[in-house]
């Protein structure tokens, strides 16, 4: 079965290594897995229940919800900002968690990966993202992890899509997420 995996990147920077990592996931997705990189997180206003009213939801947030509802699984790419999850990724989780009881995650499989400058590859932020998306209704797959340290050095001259070790590890994550999405659909 073909599985649609929505990729959300927690960095807005044009040269983001996490965005490059997401591009590598799109490029090297195994057969049957369609990794779709969501564009537009920067356009979504901060979550505010006053503007989350049926019929008047901001267009950018509605676009995110539509993409999420069409997804079978989610793959988050999180850098680490001051030891935690970037605001843009947390904001996306907040929008997708609503309306209460009917959020877009709805038990769908979620994996969180990423890269950061530090020696641990952003594990604190990735753990925070797993916590938030799990509370928001996603089924976090705890054994699908990839934290790549020293991103500035590692990817200074090589795009993650051209790094054989990274491609292998990332493909394992996407393959695992694909398997969990198929199992969820069969249940």
Please give the share of the chain, as a percent, with pLDDT higher than 70: 100
- Domain span including residue 30: 3-186
Residue 16 belongs to a domain with what CATH number? Answer: 3.40.50.360
How many structural domains compose the chain? 1
Q: Say what the pLDDT of residue 91 is.
A: 98
The pLDDT of residue 120 is above 90: no
Give the tens place of pLDDT for each residue, 77-115.
Answer: 999 999 999 999 999 999 999 988 889 999 999 999 999
This prediction has a pTM of: 0.96
The pLDDT of residue 1 is above 80: no
Output the average pLDDT for the chain. 95
When pLDDT is cut at 50, 70 and 90, the band that residue 185 belongs to is: confident
Residue 36 is encoded by which pair of tokens? 């779709």
Residue 34 CB neighbours (<10 A): 14
Peptide bond into 99 cis (omega under 30): yes
89: left (phi over 0), alpha (psi -120 to 50) or beta: alpha
The pLDDT of residue 181 is above 80: yes
């Amino acid at each position: 079965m073909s599985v649609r995996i929505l990729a959300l990147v927690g960095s807005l920077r044009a040269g983001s290594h996490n965005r490059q990592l997401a591009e590598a996931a799109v490029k090297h997705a195994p057969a049957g897995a369609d990794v779709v990189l969501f564009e537009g997180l920067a356009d979504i206003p901060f979550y505010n229940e006053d503007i989350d009213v049926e019929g008047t939801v901001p267009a950018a947030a509605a676009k995110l919800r539509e993409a999420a509802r069409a997804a079978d699984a989610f793959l988050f790419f999180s850098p680490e900002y001051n030891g935690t999850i970037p605001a843009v990724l947390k904001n996306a989780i907040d929008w997708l968690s609503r309306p209460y009881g009917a959020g877009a995650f709805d038990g769908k499989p979620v994996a969180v990966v990423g890269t950061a400058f530090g020696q641990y590859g952003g594990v604190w932020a990735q753990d925070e993202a797993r916590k938030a998306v799990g509370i928001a209704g996603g089924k976090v797959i705890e054994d699908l992890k990839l934290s790549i340290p020293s991103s500035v050095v590692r990817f200074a001259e090589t795009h993650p899509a051209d790094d054989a070790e990274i491609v292998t590890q990332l493909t394992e994550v996407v393959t695992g997420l694909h398997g969990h999405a198929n199992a969820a659909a069969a249940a």
